[in-house]
Structure formats: C-alpha cells, structure tokens
Amino acid sequence: MLQRRLLHTAKACLNKPLAPFTSTKYPKLKRNPCYSKITDKDVEHLRTFLTSSDLIYEKDPESTAIAHLNTDWFNLYRGSSSLCVFPKTTKQVSQILEYCHERQIAVVPQGGNTGVSGGAVPVFDEVIINLSKMDKIRHFDPISGVAIVDCGVVLEQLDQFLEPKGYTVPLDLGAKGSCQLGGNVSTNAGGLRLMRYGSLHGNVLGLEVVLPDGTVLDNISTLRKDNTGYDLKQLFIGAEGTLGIITGVSLLTPKRPKAVNVALIALESFEAIQKAFVLAKDHLTEILSAFEFWDQDSVGVVKSQLMQKSKYPLEGKHAFYALIETQGSKREHDETKLLEYIQLLMEKDIALDGVMAQSSDQIKTLWAWREKIPEAISKSGVALTYDVSMDVPLLYKLVKDTKEYFSKKDMLGPGKVYSNLIGFGHVGDGNLHIMANLNKTDSDGLKLMDEFIFSWAMKNKGSITAEHGIGVAKVQYMHRARSATQLQLMRTIKRAIDPKGIMNPYKVLPE
Ligand code: FAD
Ligand code: ZN
C-alpha cells in the first residue's frame, strides 16, 4: 500500500513544475569534460545484453519516460540523463560498469530514489543505473536470522517476508514502502529504531559490490565476528554510490517483538521532552525502542495536507509531542511499565496529557502522525529537509534560532524565505529534522537557509548530516565539515577504487 502511495507521489511531481536543474541551483558545478557522452553506439552495445524493457533511451531528458528518473522524490534536484538501465543480475551490473569504465562514461546508481540529498539522480548526463529489478530475497537462515537479499529489495517487502518467520528488519523509516536495501546501506540510513537496533555499520554482515571497472567483490559474509584484515564492507556503507554498486546485502535481522506498545504525550517545552526522555530510559530500560518528538507546527502541516478528516489523538494544542514505543516479549509487563511511565510523567508535571494505543490500528495511527510529516510538508510546497545531529539539549534551540534569524533577515524581506518551518526528529539519537517550505524557488532562499543551519550545527559541534548523507546538497560544506587530512584520505580511497571517477561524480567529495 505504502509503496504504491509513495511511488504515486513521486510520479505526481510530474504534474507540478519540474524542479530546477541541479546545475542551475549550484552554478559552480560544471560538467567534467573528461566523461564521454552517450552515443547511439553505446546504447547498441548495452542492448546486446539488456532487453528492450531493461533500458530507457530518450534523447529528450524532459520526456515523460525518463523525466521522473532524472528527478528526486522531493522534486528538488534534476539531471538531464538520456539513458537509464535496469539490470536484473549482478552479472549485468558488472557488464554495464565494465563498459562504462572502459569508455569513461559517468554513472549514478539509483535505488528507490527516496534519498534526500540529491544523490540518486544525475547532475548532468550520467547514466542512471536503476536497481529496482534486482529484487530477489536470496536466502534466509532462521537460526542466525541472517537474510541475504538483492540490493533492489524494498525494505517493507523484506519485513513482510520476515514477519511469518518471527523476524523483523533492524531499521524502519517513513519511506519503507519505496526505499531499497541497497539505497539504505549506501546512505547508512538511520530511521526510527536506531536507538534500539544500532546502525547498519553493525547490522550489515556482508556485501556483494560491483566495483567501477566491473570486478565483483564477493564479500557477502554471514559471520558476526570476522577480523580477517580490513573490514572492506564498511567502506561502502554510507558511500552514497561513489565507490561501486552494492548488488547483494547480508543483513542481521532481530526477532520480531511479541509485544509492541506505543504512547503519545503532550509537553509544553523541549526541556520537558529531555526530562521525559531520561525518565523513559530509567523506567522502560531494555524495552524502550523509539523516542520521537515533533512540534505543534508539524501537526498543523500533517492535518492540513494528509489527515484532514482524522481527529488528533490528544485534545487541545500543545507546543510539543513525543511518541514513545516499547518492544518486548511480555505484553502485560510492558503495558504496565508504559502506563506507569505516563502516570509518572503526569505526577511530575513533565507531560500535560498522554494516551496509550489500545490496538494495532491505534498504534499505526499514532505512528502515522509522526511518519507522515515529511510527506505532508512536501505536499504543501517546495520542501527543504535538514538532518543535523548534536547534543540532545541543543536540538530544538536550532529551530528557535532559525526562526528568530529569518524573522529579522531583510535580504529577501522578512518572512519571505520560508513558510511552515517545523522541527521533529529522533530524540534518542540526538537527530533533529528541520523542514520548511521555501517561498522563493530560486537558489537564494536555499543558500541562506543552508548557510545558517549548517554553520549553526558545526559551531555547536554537531554534524551537518546525521542520516541523509552529503549527496550533491551538502558537498560544498565538506571543506568546513571535515579537516584537510580527512578529505585527503577520502580522496585517496576514492582514487584507489575509482581511478576514472565514473561513480556518482559531483557527489560527496568536493573538487
Ligand atoms: P536512493 O534515494 O535511490 O539512493 C540514495 C543514495 O544511495 C544515492 O547516492 C544513490 O546513488 C545510492 N545508491 C542507491 N542504491 C545503491 C546501490 N545499490 N549501490 C550503490 N549505491 C546506491 N532516511 C533516514 O535515514 N531516516 C529516515 O527516517 C528517513 N525517513 C524518510 C521519510 C521519507 C518520507 C522519505 C521520502 C525519505 C526518508 N529518508 C530517511 C531518506 C531515504 O528514504 C533514505 O536515505 C533511504 O535509505 C534511501 O533509499 P533509496 O533506495 O531510496 O535510495
Ligand atoms: Zn530521520
């Protein structure tokens, strides 16, 4: 269901004006002339091992058949590729890369295309290698819980496959109906339960990767412990397709919890959220699986865009809301613990109101108010997304400071830069999302907002990207976010693996 809905939304952007070209947004980016341009002869060669339905070649990149593949889910980034290929096997990925390497044709790997940093779409005319047809679950071991899957398996499909076996996926995110395992690993996606299950750097046990020259690196281990030399898979986790194409993933999956409980509480300040978070760790200890928060403006956007007919689960208007989830094995015990926790919050005047879901449908509804936030604000206009991380006490100060700064800013006229600025995120991971509808669709507002938020995060010892990655969106900030030594080492690795620079150029590493 969700998958169809998200894909529909992605296509729906075709009815809106298409996003400006990424190269217009970032005029300093110039096409690197060392890359060959695609010719009919190249396409002819690719057709020798790809069927006609596995390849789209449109000389006009704005034609309907290829425009949506050139545009990201948020309709913020757009390239002008005339060629998209859909390999079905690792061998085909290898043949494509071997050929592109020899001809020095630049490529961009594309999974579910739900990424937030413009990493999965071309900047210029890079060939799009869309992995959605590599969608087989290769193997599952019910003893260890290790699943081996093709890169194009959709996260929610894997979860549905695991459900009757009593297992679940160790990561969950709002885009689960469209994002793919290869994309998740390549972005090192965080999501809603990182505080419980940890990051993909721990849960991915092995990878199969096609290197830029077509060599297949079979590193698809199923071992939890293996210290034989450098841990090569870690290089590709979070590499955003700049080092190779991940074709297979070996993933450690946890047992599906027998009891899941969810509560929603209302609070009047971010200080109260911090107190509630500490108390949740104290009182719910090992069963606490998620602690998410959002502000009142987030509720307004979801209500007006996607849930007009739904009644908000709590009465009145409150400054903040927090969703607390427990996952455990004893329903009664967990329910009592969560109920006691809510009572404690009320007694201590930390929470103003609270509700606990009584059924799995109610659990879904409470989660919907959180999960629909990004989709809702994207529906109400051109939406910018930030995913900074920092010490928890500072999280919401950034939202307040951003609003204050832009209310005084007169460069574009007060209030002209954005509307609907909202703050929400993963308290448990110190990860804040700020999203805003940009009023001016030219690059001025975007630049002002980027500069303010990224500088603020760096000044406060935070990260400019906790989970979405650098892509093309933040590449110009890498000089400030990483030291010269760090950047030098990253370039050395990139050159060693991809000497011709064909993998996802213009992304992650600045020139
Ligand atoms: P894509 O967007 O297709 O690609 C992302 C990057 O990975 C690109 O650089 C691409 O080149 C590269 N890539 C893709 N597949 C491969 C491959 N097989 N081999 C090599 N490189 C590859 N992210 C979070 O971390 N946490 C969240 O909570 C979260 N919530 C979201 C909610 C919504 C509604 C949406 C739309 C997005 C959300 N995201 C979130 C962002 C996004 O869903 C994740 O980044 C996701 O992991 C991307 O997966 P994908 O398959 O769509 O990858
Ligand atoms: Zn997130």
Q: What is the position in ligand 1's atom list of the atom closest to the CA of 209?
A: 19
CA distance 260 to 324: 11
3-state class (DSSP) for residue 278: helix
Phi–psi pair at 25, nearest 5 degrees: -65, -40
Let me know: does 92 contact 112? Beta carbons within 8 Å.
no
Domain boundaries defined on the chain: 10-130, 137-252, 267-291+299-373, 381-480
Verify whether ligand 1 is closer than 6 Å to residue 389 (CB atom). Answer: no
Ligand nearest to the CA of 73: 1
Verify whether ligand 1 is closer than 6 Å to residue 173 (CB atom). Answer: yes
CATH architecture of residue range(s) 10-130: 2-Layer Sandwich (3.30)
Does the domain at residues 381-480 carry the CATH identifier 3.30.70.2740? Answer: yes
| Mutational pocket test of ligand 1: of 77, 97, 114, the residue with most ligand atoms within 8 Å of the beta carbon | 114
Q: Which amino acid is at 395?
A: L
Verify whether ligand 1 is closer than 6 Å to residue 212 (CB atom). Answer: no
Per the confidence metrics, is the pTM higher than 0.85? yes
Tokens of 98: 């071997």
CA distance 300 to 423: 12
Verify whether ligand 1 is closer than 6 Å to residue 151 (CB atom). Answer: yes
CATH topology match: 267-291+299-373 vs 381-480: yes
Residue 156 Cα to ligand 1 midpoint, Å, equals 13
In this predicted model, what pLDDT tens digit does every residue of 79-129 receive, in sequence order? 999 999 999 999 999 999 999 999 999 999 999 999 999 999 999 999 999
Verify whether ligand 1 is closer than 6 Å to residue 350 (CB atom). Answer: no
Q: Nearest Cα to 425, choosing from 271, 310, 266, 290?
A: 290
Q: Nearest Cα to 246, choosing from 73, 107, 109?
A: 109
Q: Which CATH number fits domain 267-291+299-373: 3.30.70.2190, 2.60.120.280, 3.40.50.720, 3.40.50.20?
A: 3.30.70.2190
Angle of CA points 469, 454, 125, to nearest 5°: 45
CA dihedral (26, 32, 35, 40) positive or negative: positive
CA distance 145 to 69: 34
Nearest-10 crossing angle of helices 270-284, 331-347: 140
CA distance 290 to 306: 23
CATH architecture of residue range(s) 137-252: 2-Layer Sandwich (3.30)
Verify whether ligand 1 is closer than 6 Å to residue 431 (CB atom). Answer: no
pLDDT in tens, the chain (511 residues): 333 334 434 444 445 678 889 999 889 999 999 999 999 999 999 999 999 999 999 998 889 999 999 999 988 999 999 999 999 999 999 999 999 999 999 999 999 999 999 999 999 999 999 999 999 999 999 999 999 999 999 999 999 999 999 999 999 998 999 999 999 999 999 989 999 999 999 999 999 999 999 999 999 999 999 999 999 999 999 999 999 999 999 999 999 999 999 999 999 999 999 999 999 999 999 999 999 999 999 999 999 999 998 999 999 999 999 999 999 999 999 999 999 999 999 999 999 999 999 999 999 999 999 999 999 999 988 899 999 999 999 999 999 999 988 887 655 554 577 888 999 999 989 999 999 998 765 667 888 899 999 999 999 999 999 999 999 999 999 999 999 999 999 999 999 999 999 999 999 999 8
Tokens of 145: 């819980």
Q: Facing residues of 110 across strands? A: 130
